[in-house]
Structure 1
C-alpha cells in the first residue's frame, strides 16, 4: 500500500437513535437531524473527510428505509457515496463494517470507520490523530481512537493505554466494559485510560482476516450477502436471507478485544456521542441562565433547562430549573436533567 493511497471513510448510519426521542424516531433517527448546527449529524460527519487527495468518497452503511434521505443530505453538502450499502436488518457494527470492507475491494485500502451521529468539534486534532495512526495501519495494525476522558463516565467503555509503539500511538492493554462509578473514578485518576469512542482505522483486508479468525460464521454470511447483492448505481442491497444468518455483534466483541495487533491513538478532539439530551445540553451554547433553547421557546425565571420545540410548536416555561422539555410531532417529553438516559424506559413503556 503506497503512502498516497486515499483513506476510505466508512460512515455507519444504521442506528435508530431512540435515546433522543421524541425528535429522533426510526423513520428519521438522530444522525439525520440537525441537532448541533445547521447541518445534520450525517452531513457533519461527511464534511470531516472531504474527498480529495487524502480521502476517497465515503462508503455509507444505512438502513434501507433511509436511502433517499441519505443521498439527498450528502448531496446538499457536496458529497456523494461511492457505495451506499442498505442493510436489510441491523446486525450491529461488526457485520456492517464487513459489508463496507468488501465493497471497498477487500484489499489494502485503509478504512476510517465513523459513526454518523457523533460530535467532533476539533477536526484538525482528529486529522492529526489519523496521520499518527497511518504508518501502523499500513503495517497491518488495527487502530482505535481513544477519547481523552474529562469525567468518570459510566456510560462509556474504556481502553487501557499501553506501551508507546510510535509517537502518540500505543498498544491497547485491554478494553474495559462500561464500569461502575468507583471503577470509572479510579481509571480517570490513573491517567492511563481513554474512552472507547467507536472510531477505527485499519486495512480492509486485515479486518476481514480478523473476522476469518474470530468470527468465521459472520464473515461467511456477509460474503454470501454481498455475492448475492442487488446493485443499482451506488446503491447496494445485500441479500437479506444471507445477511440474516450473520451473528449480531459489535466490532469490539467480535474483533478488537481478541486481535493481537491492536493500537490506540489517544486524542482530545471535542468528542461526544450525543447519546442523550443531557449530552446535547452539555455541548450546547447556553444563555446567561444556563438554558439551551431552540425553536419557539419562552423561558421566564427559568434556569439550566434544555428546551427544544419543532417548527410550529411553542413551549413556555416559568419558574422552573434543571428540566429537559422537548416537543416534537404529537409528543412532549419532560424529565429532570440528569435522567435523560431514562428515555429508554419511556420507549419500553410505549411498546407495552
Structure 2
C-alpha cells in the first residue's frame, strides 16, 4: 500500500484574476467539471493500491477541502512553511516503512496509466532506500520549469546527477537537445523514515522543530493540528532545496504522463488544448484573431486583430495578456488589490 500525501495551498497569483488568495487554483475546475484538487484525489482512489490520502493544508483552505472532498485525514499547518516541513509532518505521522507518494494538489496529469506505471517504477527504487522524484520528458525548451539531469542508470530509473533552476532560453535549448534532462515534476516517492533521516541529516534544526510540533500537536477526529510554537520557528524551505539537492540518495523516474503544473495562463491553454477542451468562453467573438483563449464568468468577450492572447474576465477584474508574457502576471501583485 502506498500512502498519498496531497499538498494544498497557493497564493492565487499566477492565474489571477480567476485564482485569488481565498480560492487558489487547486480548488478551481480548470480542466473539466472537477477541480485540480479533486482530480488529484481521483488519481489515488484505488484502495487496493493506495491508502486514504493525508492532506496537508493551511487553515484558510480547510472549508474548501471539506466541501470538495468530504472527510479525510487532514494535517492543518499553523503557518505556511513550504513543502519540506509539510512533508515531514505527514512522514512523522505514519510508520517509518510507509511508502509516501507526495503530490501537489494543483497539477494536471493527462495519462493516468503512465502515472501509475511511474509510481511502480519509483516504488522499486524507494524500497531500496532511494528518494525518488518524477521527471517529465520535455517536448519544448521550456524556461518556466526546473530541470533534472539524469546520471547513472538504475533498475527502473536514474541517479540524479544535478538539479537545475529555471534556465534561460539558450540553456533550455541545450537541455532539450542533449536528451539527458527532464523537467522536475514536483512529485516524489520515498519511505517516510528515509525522508526523515535525510531531513535530520541536512536540516537538523527543521527536523527537531517538526518533531516538537508533532509531539505538541492535538487531534480532533481525522484532523491533526501540530504545535504552533515550534512550527512557527521553522524556516520556510522547499523539499528540493532542503533534501533532494542535498541527499546522495536522489533518483529520478521519467514518466511521459501528460503532466502540467498549470503554472500560468499559457500552461493552462496548452493543457486544455491537449485535453480537447474548449479554449474560449461561450459567446466569444473573434475577427482576424488566432491562438486565443478566453475565460469569462459572464461578460461576452470579443477579440479583433490579435494573435496569441488570453483574455480573462472575472468579477470586477479583466486581464489581457500575450501568451509569451504569462509568467509576468504575478508581478501585478493581485493580493494587494483584492
What is the TM-score with the length of structure 2 in the denominator?
A: 0.94
- The alpha carbon displacement at 1:295 in A equals 4.5
Range with greater deviation from structure 2 (33-42 or 172-181):
172-181
Aligned length: 337
Find the counterpart in structure 1 of residue 126 from structure 2.
137
Asked whether the equivalents of residues 20 and 335 of structure 2 are also in contact (C-alpha less than 8 Å), the reply is no
Find the counterpart in structure 1 of residue 232 from structure 2.
244
Pick one of 298, 301, 313 that aligns with 2:285: 298
Find the counterpart in structure 2 of residue 307 from structure 1.
294
Asked whether the equivalents of residues 272 and 278 of structure 2 are also in contact (C-alpha less than 8 Å), the reply is no
Q: Distance in 1 between matches of 2:79 and 2:149?
A: 33
Pick one of 318, 330, 335 that aligns with 1:332: 318
Q: Distance in 2 between matches of 1:351 and 1:344?
A: 12
Pick one of 13, 18, 21 that aligns with 1:26: 21
Find the counterpart in structure 2 of residue 95 from structure 1.
85
Find the counterpart in structure 1 of residue 163 from structure 2.
175
CA 291–31 in structure 1, closer or farther in 2 if over 3 Å, else same? closer
- Where in structure 2 are the equivalents of 1:146-157 lying within 5 Å? 146-157=135-146
Alpha-carbon RMSD across the aligned residues, in angstroms, is: 2.0
Find the counterpart in structure 1 of residue 66 from structure 2.
71
Find the counterpart in structure 2 of residue 261 from structure 1.
249
Q: Distance in 1 between matches of 2:123 and 2:252?
A: 12
What is the TM-score with the length of structure 1 in the denominator?
A: 0.91
**Alignment gaps of 5+ in structure 1:** 1-5
Q: Distance in 2 between matches of 1:102 and 1:14?
A: 20
**Alignment gaps of 5+ in structure 2:** none
Asked whether the equivalents of residues 297 and 309 of structure 1 are also in contact (C-alpha less than 8 Å), the reply is no
Pick one of 278, 294, 303 that aligns with 2:266: 278
Find the counterpart in structure 2 of residue 59 from structure 1.
54
Q: Distance in 1 between matches of 2:295 and 2:326?
A: 14
Asked whether the equivalents of residues 43 and 112 of structure 2 are also in contact (C-alpha less than 8 Å), the reply is yes
* Segments of 4+ moved more than 6 angstroms: none
Asked whether the equivalents of residues 109 and 203 of structure 1 are also in contact (C-alpha less than 8 Å), the reply is yes
Q: Distance in 1 between matches of 2:337 and 2:203?
A: 33
| 1:101-145 alpha-carbon deviations (Å, 9 max, x no partner) | 11224x110000011111110010011111112122112110111
Asked whether the equivalents of residues 87 and 237 of structure 1 are also in contact (C-alpha less than 8 Å), the reply is yes
Find the counterpart in structure 2 of residue 3 from structure 1.
none
The reply on whether 1:45 has 2:40 as its aligned counterpart is yes
Aligned residue for 1:140, secondary structure, equals: coil
